[in-house]
Structure 1
């Protein structure tokens, strides 16, 4: 909230982090002064420009001293970024980071479908490949919610992540996806930035991006650390030029198929092997993963193999347990204690 931010800034700050819109708001109200800035960082620069923040960013930069260090980070490097660099950077040094994977370990397949068949074809992809973990990319927040809801209605566990989620909601979504209690995450490009997802089996493009560099960035989330991965893309006849652009960018032909092979079985389901339990105690209660593991394998009677990832936050904790052990865990926490303290537990849905 603005009032809380204003209060924090009144005490001074070494580092201020914010969206362009919120920083501009503070500048307008006089609650943030940038005349003493010595380092300016523009993170996710390409996405901010895609969202139309160029004018706002320019106004913010004008409030900073000319004698400063400027760092600009961008996953892609479109022409607009190049033009912006000429304006705000002086004698810049470019640092490029090589991708962590080689596209040879990623099996890429493109499926041509009619637009009205896109969601049904997506179901077919899940039935055919049955990935344990999959990241589905959509263009908009609304589309993310629609696709996640459609998958849920067809017995495929899925969660959406985008910029409209509150931090608490975002944390819970990521906890469930990374601890294998939800197999499918539906995301926008912006929301997926910065996600550290290990052993991601599949990346699915519900729609192809306009920029082939964004496509390569998307699929690079699978096939990491020596593992293989699959990249599956749906496209319509009108989007065929996007496939050609990707072929040119990667300098290799694409493997294309028709969506006719993606006819889902009405009885197919995709369910995670684990479920997530939220506990109302965390770091501030001096709870550690070993405390929860000890309680569950001791008094609760679970075996170590029935317990998955444990995440500790300030005032809450999350534990992944085998689906078959859910009722046993919830029953234990109705009276059971952790470090001598009663703890309330509930299943995260």
Structure 2
């Protein structure tokens, strides 16, 4: 049964703020999480990116924060700068009716200017490294935080941030609400969730349970000589926003130059760029001024845009999880999308293993590509899978 935001316990003030953004009906993860989150109960949510999870914690933060509270009173930890900027924008769209201020804290920007804004903000959205730096310098006080959100916890661990997160959590009051969002809740992520939450309500929302969204997976056989030309053809035929993945930072810059020579406007985004340059590239892409963004895996980790219609793996990913992360940038929020992977002759075997494990063998072979035989695995006594 579909509930309205009002029926889930959201105030009319915030319902109006959502309506002003043409958001009228909650996504499944929002419908699941909101009643308990609004009641101040700890929440553990398994929810992929693109499922609408940001509003699942942004609405309770805004509803449960009062303008007269000590500042900051709410903290959202995210793994990347880009995600910090996007979550901040989401919260800022809801904050004005409640007279709340929101500040973002992340590396690559002037520290003291951020510290001033952070000290005055009711809600802080931060990456672990920069926040710990501010806390160590006593430029921000976390002792009044009553609501703590850990977003994309699995990526936080993947990127090696657990030590910083642990130290930040130790600075927070024990008497707080914790909301924990992750694409997986197994293994180390599950242990972290148990350590940080207190009798949490647990929810799971898969893409399968949402408004139907389809990602069409295709593979394209290319050669070194035809690769760029094939990419240009695909970009020209899309008519939407296209995210192109490459393996290296240098490769991203070179590909943007090659596309430019073919009169295709593109911008790069990678870790060697300054934060201002990355934000400028993202802004051009998000607004549609430039319809093609060429990115590395790490740079694109925090991207949370609903309007990407095509993801093209110019360089195929080496691992299953990278393929899932990359292709999950399209087909979001109930929309359809296309994921296209270019395969050189020498990449066929390895890419066929990834395709097989993720259930895309048919699409792989439809492209005239040959699947390699499955790798043999044995299980050691400790239960770890190893390759012969």
Cross-structure match for 1:345 = none
Map of 1:326 onto structure 2: none
Name 2:51's counterpart in structure 1: none
Q: Which residue of 2 aligns with 1:2?
A: 111
The aligned residue for residue 255 of structure 1 is 364
The whole-number CA distance in structure 1 between the counterparts of 2:356 and 2:158 is 23
TM-score (normalised: structure 1): 0.59
1:121 deviation in Å?
Answer: 1.5
Q: 2:229 aligns with which of 123, 141, 149?
A: 123
The normalised TM-score by structure 2 is 0.54
Is 1:156 aligned to residue 264 of structure 2? yes
Label 1:154 to 1:215 Cα distance change in 2 as closer, same or farther (>3 A): same
3-state secondary structure, aligned to 1:177 = helix
1:178–1:197 Cα contact (<8 Å) kept: no
Return the alpha-carbon distance in structure 2 between the equivalents of residues 14 and 132 of structure 1.
41
The counterpart of 2:315, out of the listed 203, 207, 229, is 207
1:45 corresponds to which residue?
A: 153
Of 305, 309, 313, the residue aligned with 1:196 is: 305
1:271-286 maps to which residues of 2 (within 5 A)?
Answer: none
Question: Any idea what SS the aligned residue of 2:358 has?
Answer: helix
- Is the 1:162–1:188 contact (alpha carbons within 8 Å) kept by the matching residues of 2? yes
Write the deviation string for residues 315-347 of structure 1: whole angstroms up to 9, x where unpaired.
xxxxxxxxxxxxxxxxxxxxxxxxxxxxxxxxx
Offset, 1:203: 1.2
Counterpart-to-counterpart distance in 2, 1:127 and 1:218:
21
For residues 212-231 of structure 1, the aligned pairs below 5 Å read: 212-223=320-331, 229-231=337-339
- Contact map agreement 1:247 1:254 (CA 8 A) in 2: no
SS of 1:73's partner is strand
Change in CA separation of 1:106 and 1:27 when aligned onto 2, cut-off 3 Å: closer
Q: Are 1:76 and 1:213, in contact at CA under 8 Å, matched by a contact in 2?
A: no
Q: Which one has a bigger Cα radius of gyration?
A: 1
CA distance in 1, matches of 2:315, 2:211: 23
Distance in 2 separating the partners of 1:9 and 1:229? 38
Assess, with a 3 A threshold, how the Cα gap between structure 1 residues 211 and 78 changes in structure 2: closer, same or farther: farther
Structure 1: runs of 5+ lacking an equivalent: 260-349
Q: Is 2:254 the counterpart of 1:138?
A: no
Q: Which residues in structure 2 correspond to 1:1-349 (within 5 Å)?
A: 1-10=110-119, 12-76=120-184, 79-99=187-207, 105-111=214-220, 117=224, 120-127=226-233, 130-133=237-240, 134-139=242-247, 141-162=249-270, 169-170=277-278, 172-189=280-297, 191-192=299-300, 193-198=302-307, 200-223=308-331, 229-235=337-343, 237=346, 240-241=349-350, 243-250=352-359, 253-256=362-365, 257=367
Mapped partners of 1:72, 1:88: distance in 2: 8
Task: Report if aligned partners of 1:75, 1:217 keep a CA contact under 8 Å in 2.
Answer: no
State the alpha-carbon separation in 1 of the partners of residues 164 and 117 from structure 2.
23
Give the total of aligned pairs.
Answer: 253
Q: Assess, with a 3 A threshold, how the Cα gap between structure 1 residues 213 and 51 changes in structure 2: closer, same or farther.
A: closer
Q: What per-residue deviation string (whole Å, max 9, x for no partner) do you get for residues 164-222 of structure 1?
A: 65666455434543454423112345554343343x44211123445535534533444
Residues 141/108 of structure 1: CA separation in 2 closer, same or farther (3 Å cut): same
SS of the counterpart of 1:91? coil
Check 1:224–1:6 CA distance in 2 against 1; reply closer, same or farther (3 A cut): closer
Q: Displacement, 1:3?
A: 1.6
Provide the C-alpha distance between the structure 1 equivalents of 2:220 and 2:189, rounded to a whole number of angstroms.
32
Distance 1:223 1:16 in 2: 29
